Structure 1
Amino acid sequence: METIITIVGFLGAGKTTLLKFLIDSFSKKGYDPFLVLNDYENAHMDAQQFVGQMQTNSIKALTGSCICCSGIVELRNIVNRIPKREKGITLIEANGTSDACALMEFLGVGLNDRFLPPIQISVVDVKNWQKRGDYNELEANQIQVSSLLVLTHLGNTTKSRQDTVVKEIKALNPLAQISTMEDLNILLLPELLPTAGTVQKMEHQKAHWSSCSADLPMLPHLECIHAICRTLPKNILRVKGCAQINGESAYTYFERNPDGEIHIRPFNGVPITGTKLLTIGPGSSPETLEKTIRQSLNASISEKKQKP
């Protein structure tokens, strides 16, 4: 029977990094992974980042639907249509605000009998754990129905901070295994069982956030990406996109995490939906995105004119 692993975690916790690690590790052990990606806006952009690791017919992007509720039927149908493989394993990355309790409650209902009951991994950002303000409840909810908790962002954190986070997540889910990515034994993952822990359900609508996207024009230089990320309101918790810089043939992927950190890296291939700016969180609106793009471009042009 085939194992299904869902991966949850707050925005920017490191789900994609964990996924890439798991895909590489399982492939080296002879597994044939199938990947399902869910996001509010343009999951195809995220899916393209895995093309170098997997065949495109083994990746499915699910955009716009919340897989913990409105998208659960579509997700279930996608899983049931996954081709049988000799040594298959299915990995599902939920969007960063999924109601993990609802997802695990409904996902296993109606799956083909060739699949084992789904298990869940929660990615825990040690640096920012329970520093989310109004979203602490959502972050805590995500680990309560997980069989494994993977600690990330340990860099620049003290041993005391790490011990505190481990103590708090153990209190919320005493039955889950805890590991760092470096210490993770992937061969044990198919042997995990669904958690039998106690779950404190939250109001489901707290997992539903606004999101939107806007087309990005050709950017004159890389600094425009930093300007866009800095200009967007802080209450927009997740910023990401794909841009093309003037004079460069390759595309550039960028993201701003909830803590404000900006990460930029090469994009894999050509974005099938074109260059985009995407945001998730309160205040996301096409007007805000378009205004930010204009302001950043104008500031960049003015700055360039002032330089000798």
Structure 2
Amino acid sequence: MEAIITIVGFLGAGKTTLLKYLINSFSKNGWSPFIILNDYENAHLDAQQFLKQVDIKHIKALTGSCICCSGINELRDYVNRIPERVNGITLIEANGTSDACSLMEFLGVGLNDRFLPPIQISVVDVKNWQKRGEHNELESNQIQVSSLIVLTHLEKITESRQSLVIDELKKINPFANIITMDAIDVRLLPELSPSENTAQKLEHLKAHWSSCSVDLPGLPSKDCIYTICEKLPKSILRVKGCTIIGQEKEYTYFERNPDGEVFIRPFNGEPITGPKLLTIGPNSEPKLLEKVIKESLETKSKN
């Protein structure tokens, strides 16, 4: 039977990093992964980053809906159509605002008999755990029914901070194993059992934030990326973009995490949706994005 592993966690916690790690590890151990990615806005950008690891036929991007509620039927139907493979395993990365408890409750109903009951892995950003203000409830909800909790963003974290976070996680979910990414043995993951923890209900519609995307022209330098990320308000929790920088021939991908940290890296290939700037969170509006892009270009031309 084929195992289904869902990966959940707050925006910017490190879900995609964990997914890449799992894909490599499963492939090296003789498994055939199938990947499903979910996001409110343009999941195709993320999906293209896995083409060096997984054949395009084994990747599905679900965009424009939330798979724990409005998109659950689409997700379930698609899972049931995944082709059978030798040593197949399905990995699902949920969007960063998912109600992880509802996802597990609904996904496990109506799956084909060839699948094992889904299990869940939560990714927890130790540095920013429960520093989300009004979004703390959502973040804590995302670990309640996970069988495994993976700690991330441990750089420059004190032992006391890590111990404090682990203690809080154990209070919320006493049944989950808590480990770091380098301690994962993927051979054991398909044998995990669904969590026995009792979940508290979440008013998930409060986390249905706005999202949008606009075309992003070529930028004269990477400085424009930092200007764009700096000018977008903090209420916007996630910023992603992909475009050409200067005279470079390859595309560049960038993202801003909820804590404001900006990451820039090469993009794999050419974006099928064209170069884009997209945001997730309150105040995400096309006019704002277009205004910020214009201001970044004007600032660069004056320097």
User: What TM-score range do you get, normalising by the shorter chain?
Assistant: over 0.9
Identity %: 71
Structure 1 unaligned spans of 5+: 304-308
Report the TM-score when normalising by structure 2: 0.99
1:105 is paired with a residue whose SS is: helix
Q: Give the letter aligned to residue 23 of structure 2.
A: I
Q: Give the letter aligned to residue 51 of structure 2.
A: V
Q: Give the letter aligned to residue 127 of structure 1.
A: K
Distance 2:130 2:120 in 1: 20
Q: Does the 8 Å contact 1:124/1:149 carry over to 2?
A: yes
Match of 1:87 in 2: 87
Instruction: Write the deviation string for residues 143-169 of structure 1: whole angstroms up to 9, x where unpaired.
Output: 001000000001011000000000000
Instruction: Write the deviation string for residues 18-76 of structure 1: whole angstroms up to 9, x where unpaired.
Output: 00000000000000000000001110000000000010000000000110111001001
1:277 is paired with a residue whose SS is: strand
Match of 1:164 in 2: 164
2:161 is paired with a residue whose SS is: helix
Match of 2:153 in 1: 153
Match of 2:59 in 1: 59
Distance 2:224 2:153 in 1: 27
Match of 1:306 in 2: none
1:143 is paired with a residue whose SS is: coil
Match of 1:45 in 2: 45
CA offset at residue 108 of structure 1? 1.1
Distance 1:20 1:287 in 2: 34
CA offset at residue 82 of structure 1? 0.4
Q: Give the letter aligned to residue 97 of structure 1.
A: T
Q: Give the letter aligned to residue 262 of structure 1.
A: V
Report the TM-score when normalising by structure 1: 0.98
Aligned length, in residue pairs: 303
1:150 is paired with a residue whose SS is: strand
Distance 1:25 1:209 in 2: 34
For 1:57-206, list aligned pairs within 5 A: 57-206=57-206
CA offset at residue 206 of structure 1? 2.1
Q: Does the 8 Å contact 1:145/1:199 carry over to 2?
A: yes
Instruction: Write the deviation string for residues 278-302 of structure 1: whole angstroms up to 9, x where unpaired.
Output: 1000110001101110111111111
Distance 1:180 1:75 in 2: 28
Instruction: Write the deviation string for residues 243-288 of structure 1: whole angstroms up to 9, x where unpaired.
Output: 1112111000000000000000000000000000010001100011
Match of 1:239 in 2: 239
Distance 1:220 1:29 in 2: 43
Structure 1 outlier segments of 4+, above 2 Å: none
Distance 2:184 2:220 in 1: 42
Q: Does the 8 Å contact 1:9/1:96 carry over to 2?
A: yes
Instruction: Write the deviation string for residues 208-251 of structure 1: whole angstroms up to 9, x where unpaired.
Output: 11100010011111111111011101110100110111211100
Structure 2 unaligned spans of 5+: none
Distance 2:81 2:241 in 1: 30
Q: Give the letter aligned to residue 77 of structure 1.
A: D
Distance 2:48 2:202 in 1: 33
